[in-house]
Amino acid sequence: MNTDAQEQKYVIAPPPQPALAVAGTDELFPVRRLWCVGRNYAEHIKEMGHDVREPPFFFAKPADAIVPDGGTVPYPSLTKDMHHEVELVVALQSGGRNIPTDKALARIYGYGVGIDLTRRDLQIASRDIKRPWEIGKAFDHSAPCGALAPAAVIGHPSKGRIVLRVNGKVRQDGDLTQMIWNVPEIISKLSEMVALEPGDIIMTGTPSGVAATVAGDRIECEIEGVGKLAVTIGAPLK
Ligand code: MN
């Protein structure tokens, strides 16, 4: 809790703490960093024209790009091809460096359903000239995330249908068993690259069926045994 004395040291008001709802409660999970795994379902790798045998890699979005369940995503600027990628979200209650796979699940607070929204045209343009991905991936409102289901309640899902519908029509339909790198492996790999901390969350990759979404679309996602997420794509910001 900030005291008046601490607040006086900031030259502007501190930004709000991004957070996710905890399902079935009025409690919040504070979000520190938001990491994403690239290319973690074989069929999606094939549809994007890459080799399935490549190891996974990570990129990040700002935590304040989170949009809660029921929210509206303003159609972003500079793109004509914003894609949806439904993903299992993992939220960490503790962290560390070089976490062994057999110690990784104990770090997890809970799981949720997220969408890695992507300005695909800008991502591919950046990729093709070997520039970073932020403009394609880390834009405002690019990370819708539903409420977290605590692992203490649902356990650690390693299988279950992951589905995304646009205006009632199924676009992405996979199963968590199709992940190339499972959740403990993802946590272990990422912790070799950075020190993980409580509050870090990870989007774990998307199954095939990614496609464009436009203003007015209603996107509904569900992961069996985990939860749901629904957002609307709104008009561009003026
Ligand atoms: Mn993704």
pLDDT averaged per 10 residues in sequence order, the chain, 238 residues:
66 96 98 95 85 83 98 98 98 98 98 98 94 95 98 98 98 96 96 97 96 98 98 96
Please give the Cα distance from 136 to 187 (Å, whole number). Answer: 24
Ligand 1 centroid vs 174 CA: distance in angstroms?
14
Please give the Cα distance from 110 to 55 (Å, whole number). Answer: 25
Ligand 1 centroid vs 207 CA: distance in angstroms?
9
Query: Does 74 map to a domain?
Result: yes
Ligand 1 centroid vs 114 CA: distance in angstroms?
10
208 close to 47: Cβ distance less than 8 angstroms:
yes
Query: Does 3 map to a domain?
Result: no
Ligand 1 centroid vs 205 CA: distance in angstroms?
5
Structure tokens, 171? 């676009």
The predicted model scores a pTM of 0.94
Pairing of β 149-150 and β 211-212: unpaired
pLDDT at 116: 98
CATH number at residue 135: 3.90.850.10
Ligand 1 centroid vs 17 CA: distance in angstroms?
24
Query: Does 157 map to a domain?
Result: yes
Query: Does 109 map to a domain?
Result: yes
Query: Does 10 map to a domain?
Result: no
Ligand 1 centroid vs 102 CA: distance in angstroms?
25
**Domain coverage including residue 101:** 16-236
Ligand 1 centroid vs 41 CA: distance in angstroms?
10
Query: Does 150 map to a domain?
Result: yes
Ligand 1 centroid vs 227 CA: distance in angstroms?
18
Query: Does 6 map to a domain?
Result: no
Q: What's the domain count of the chain?
A: 1
Query: Does 196 map to a domain?
Result: yes
Ligand 1 centroid vs 89 CA: distance in angstroms?
11
Neighbours of ion ligand 1 (CB under 5 A): 85, 116, 206
